[in-house]
Every structure is written in C-alpha cells, then in structure tokens.
Homo-oligomer: A and B are copies of this chain.
Amino acid sequence: MDGTLVIGIHQLYARQSHLIDSGNAEGWARTFTPDGEFHSPTYPAPVAGRAPLRDFAQDFARNARAAGEVHRHVVTNVYVESVNPARAQVSAYLQVVATSVTGGTRLLRLTTVHDLLVRHGDDWRVARRDVRRDDAA
C-alpha cells in the first residue's frame, strides 16, 4: 500500500473536521466532489452537490450555536480498505463531542462512515459517504 496515498487520506479526514468545526461550510463542501453524496439515516434524502452540502454544514454549526454549544467531529480508526492513485475505499469512526459554552463536555454520538474517495491533484475528495449511527442500529 502506497504510504503517500494513505497519508493524503489521513490529511483529508483531519482537514474536513477542522473545516466544518471552525464554521467553514464552503471549505467543507469542497472536500466532496462537485456531485458528492452524503447518505445518513438522520436525513430522509441524501445530500448531494456542493451547495446542498454547504447548507448542511451551515445548519450543523447553526444548530450547535443555538444550543449554546461547540460541536467537534473527532475522526479515528481510519482504515484504508483499498487504494490506488485514482480511488480509495475507507472506513472510519466519527464521534461528535459537544461542549457547552458554560462548561461541560460530553460525547454526543459515535457514527461509522464508509467513504468512496477520488483523487484530485494532490488531494482526495469524497465522492460518496454513507453514515451509520450506532443509536439507529
């Protein structure tokens, strides 16, 4: 397995979390391909395309703020199932951690993401993400 490709994939996951958690919804949407898809049991229909993905990320930040909280996406257990210079299949754990601005941190949920990635120049982008929630098992 090509180490440089795998490291680029780790970078993608770290960068994605920093983008959405710092309120950069546009930047987060651009970590998907232009027609990238986000499938989650939390939402009735998949989110597809960058404008809907950006709105999705903005809603995430707005909901956290409305609750008087900071939410963080903590990615772990990044497992590259297969990779070549053009595509990769990856599974990872994604925890959402909430901190109240008045103090107190808690683990909100743990989800598993199954991603199809495609390479774009030196970067990787998500072509399709499938999210599973442990509380919807």
Q: Is the C-beta of A15 less than 8 angstroms from some C-beta in chain B?
A: yes
A23-53 contacts to B (CB < 8 Å): none
How many residues of chain A have a CB within 8 Å of chain B?
44
- Chain A interface (Cβ < 8 Å from any Cβ of B): 1, 3-4, 6-8, 10-11, 13-15, 17-18, 70, 72-80, 91-93, 95, 97, 99-110, 122, 134-135, 137
Question: Among the listed B10, B76, B102, which residue makes an inter-chain contact with A75, where contact means beta carbons less than 8 Å apart?
Answer: B76
Offer 16 A-B interface pairs, CB within 8 angstroms, sorted by A.
A3-B4, A10-B78, A11-B79, A11-B80, A14-B77, A17-B77, A17-B93, A18-B77, A18-B79, A18-B91, A70-B134, A72-B93, A74-B95, A74-B110, A75-B76, A104-B135
